[in-house]
Structure 1
């Protein structure tokens, strides 16, 4: 049975699968680090430092679990706060080693290694509130130079936000006719035997990122803008799994499955109304406002919107609730309406009422797919941009409500 090994009669290497039981730790932590007097690596100017976090595995190997942004031209960088599930950082084991490498970013991708240090989640979380300083060491320099002290230091910046907030994601998918007939190769819903449709690809890519942040991995999933059986009524919030009582799908795989099933049974139609599904999630978010629950609505759309006024009204109302909206635009359209809803440039308003906080993040998916159209170029970049504003939006909700972050105290 060596037929399928690629080259007849030759073994082409082995694949080693390592599995580890996932702890059921659900905490999400926000932390911020800064560095001091890092080594200068660039001939001209200072270094452009970034950090890479690794989780240690039971067999002694390391897995990358987070990368910070690059701070240009400084030896004393302060990185943006970032949010990560504790599970991703240490699989819920507070004392497990977390390795952190410090690099100097280079345009050509040959980033220079500045140094490294090891810590644990327990230590890192302490470092956020107490003054802990880590020495960044470069083993090669240590061997070579007698007088070598270190390549700089890293310490925690700001308060440790062990926010014990449960994040709940809801998915809404655009089933309007502007997407093209699913049976046509030009359609954004067209799935060939060889590759996922634009929608499925965006759903999978973004879904796998947010999956780690959702506490129960159950995603209520809706479609909008289609005629739905049995009577062909137009619906702007039909459950993809056809279960009105319980629209939740198990994991992103479950959402994908229900989405493909729906495509076979509903008729793409219109108009493209966002407001109903925004109001639906807002209604749920309004039930618990003490900061222990936070809702994120992920809308995947081709960006042609019919109920702009109602949608603005819905977003302005939702901006005082514990919720955020991520809009992922698929396809080649100009997304002016989405940019306006995003509200980064101009605070969104409706009938003279301004949004209390900016709760919308818009991401054009095409920026992350290469020309062959099938390969998501940089999942890390997509992940960062999709989740970029959520921690800030969550914190802004807490601040306006004067809710103090409850600590996930690893003591």
Structure 2
């Protein structure tokens, strides 16, 4: 089953980019943003970085959902990327354009391939591959670019995945072109060889036998086509989304009776914690059939003995921590506020480990029936960072996602570290996460945005995380034909 919205692919190329780097060309990357209204923009996608290039043709397609009934304002920005940080604040802006999605109708111009001299007469080549799809006008559009293999005349490139839509518009008889080039740092790559084929020919290959050669006796291609399931395929096919809430009750939030406290409930009946629970819960509850959400608090002195707990039920029923719907979570939170004393420290690992135990039990089943989403709302001052790192690495191998919403104006560097945007998160022993499962969002970024914006941002990664887990396990949706074999 396909997604219920139309996905539009934007292919981006540039010419005559300015050089911001001293002594070399820029390393451009394109970033796609969509308007949220009121001069608010949110990032939707970004391409790969192309090194030392003033005329980049980006291989990665920018994806955006298309809604005919909306005016969707887009902003495409080109940045010179000189570091590994995902933040654009320290990167040079090379230029950009604003438009609406409805206005985007710019077919690429056809280009002739210019013959080039044989590569590297005095040494070995640095080969890489480019794969092109054919447009309706007969022009070739870049669909994939491989890694460069340095100093090698017998390269073996890493296996890769590319969607049929990107490669041939879903038509296996539509021509594709493969070129092999010798990489040059100044961007003037030498052509080694090229051929044209289509996926129907590639599909005829059995047992991993070679299908094409670029130049005599050089085998380059093996093919396997797999079914790609979407998030909706899983949830409509019977996968249950289990939503759990964890709320920070540490003393750094301030006395709930004080208007300066992050737990203070304003005259309109809301605070940042309540807003986050409402925004995310209202979306997630539609994917939970029983609408029963376990909700926990951490970092408070709890009745009846007044001892600190990092995993107490908001409804004070440890054997049945489930709340009926989002409203049930709200009611339990309000009741807990007047019955606990804010204390500390701020430990995430107990709640992550709690949900992980349920996810681990689900992972023992050979079906894609249970996926867990943990929402943690906190003021940001985490104290068990090392234990939390270990808990996240362990959870990355389970059917589980973690959403962290930071309230207030504290330093959220630890949260950004857990998000993994600055690099792959690792445990204390150096074990990396199996997949990215953490999404962090500061609440203040959305205070003046439409109420739907927070939920859209914090939940944006969950569908990809769910699909990536079941793809890793090679598990189809529960009610798909494959699962019934």
Is residue 2:354 matched to residue 1:275?
A: no
SS of 1:362's partner is strand
Cα gap change, 1:226 to 1:404, in 2 (>3 Å): same
From 302, 324, 327, the equivalent of 1:253 is 327
Larger radius of gyration: 2
CA distance in 1, matches of 2:432, 2:358: 22
- Name the counterpart of 1:397: 469
Q: Answer with 213-222 or 268-277: which moved more.
A: 213-222
Encode CA deviations 1:278-300: one digit per residue, 9 max, x unaligned. 00000000111232110010000
Cα gap change, 1:181 to 1:68, in 2 (>3 Å): closer
- Name the counterpart of 1:285: 359
Alignment of 1:142-157 (within 5 A): none
CA distance in 1, matches of 2:412, 2:376: 14
Q: CA deviation at 1:171?
A: 0.2
From 305, 310, 317, the equivalent of 2:394 is 317
Q: CA deviation at 1:343?
A: 0.9
Cα gap change, 1:389 to 1:168, in 2 (>3 Å): same
8 Å contact from structure 2 (residues 74, 99) kept in 1: yes
Is residue 2:230 matched to residue 1:230?
A: no
SS of 1:349's partner is coil
Alignment of 1:308-387 (within 5 A): 308-350=385-427, 351-370=429-448, 377-387=449-459
Question: Which has the bigger relative contact order, CA under 8 A and spacing at least 6?
Answer: 1
CA distance in 2, matches of 1:99, 1:364: 28
CA distance in 1, matches of 2:343, 2:316: 18
SS of 1:188's partner is coil
TM-score by length of 1: 0.64
RMSD over aligned CA atoms reads 3.9
CA distance in 2, matches of 1:70, 1:312: 27
From 267, 271, 282, the equivalent of 1:208 is 282
Corresponding pairs, count: 303
Alignment of 1:16-27 (within 5 A): none
Alignment of 1:66-105 (within 5 A): 80=63, 100-101=68-69, 103=71, 105=73
8 Å contact from structure 1 (residues 176, 225) kept in 2: yes
Q: Which runs of 5+ in 1 are unaligned?
A: 1-26, 38-47, 52-66, 83-97, 116-126, 133-157, 371-376
Cα gap change, 1:307 to 1:408, in 2 (>3 Å): same
